[in-house]
């Protein structure tokens, strides 16, 4: 079950911005010390990377990108509701990916 926590509206909005592909990097940079925003922005950054990879795979990749878009929309909704919803299958990788981005780019 998704963890629900009392978050202020600013955190919820930043969390939702984290799912808007390249803006996930902006959310990571701007709120890297906020655990809620970092959680959602890390997942959004991973979805953005998957989207770029799938873009180059004809047909199946394009269909996979539709799934990525649906996951991003669900992530936005869950973030705005104040939930920490982990992505299916790749959710556990997202936090490590977000930490790697912050260290590599030195955000």
If you average pLDDT over residues 37-64, what whole number do you get? 90
pLDDT of residue 78: 93
Which residue in 4, 30, 18 sits closest to 97, CA to CA? 18
pLDDT of residue 4: 52
Residues in the chain: 107
If you average pLDDT over residues 35-55, what whole number do you get? 89
- Number of Cβ atoms within 10 Å of the Cβ of 87: 20
Q: Is residue 45 part of a domain?
A: yes
Q: Is residue 98 part of a domain?
A: yes
Q: What is the pTM of this model?
A: 0.81
Phi–psi pair at 33, nearest 5 degrees: -90, -5
Name the domain count of the chain. Answer: 1
Q: Is residue 84 part of a domain?
A: yes
Q: Is residue 99 part of a domain?
A: yes
Q: Is residue 35 part of a domain?
A: yes
Would you give the DSSP letter of residue 33?
T
- Label residue 6 by pLDDT band (50, 70, 90): low
**Cα–Cα distance, 39 to 43 (Å, whole number):** 7
Q: Is residue 5 part of a domain?
A: no
Q: Which helix (H) or strand (E) holds 31?
A: none
Q: Look up the domain containing 58 and give its range.
A: 21-105
**Cα–Cα distance, 106 to 100 (Å, whole number):** 9
Q: Is residue 2 part of a domain?
A: no
């Amino acid at each position: 079950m998704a963890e629900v926590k009392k978050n202020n509206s600013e955190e919820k909005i930043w969390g939702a911005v984290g799912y808007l592909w390249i803006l996930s990097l902006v959310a990571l940079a701007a709120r890297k010390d906020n655990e809620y925003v970092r959680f959602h922005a890390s997942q959004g950054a991973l979805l953005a990377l998957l989207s770029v990879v799938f873009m180059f795979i004809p047909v199946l990749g394009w269909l996979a990108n539709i799934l990525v878009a649906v996951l991003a929309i669900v992530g936005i909704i869950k973030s705005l509701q104040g939930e920490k919803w982990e992505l299916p299958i790749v959710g556990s990788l997202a936090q490590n990916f977000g930490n790697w981005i912050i260290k590599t780019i030195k955000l």
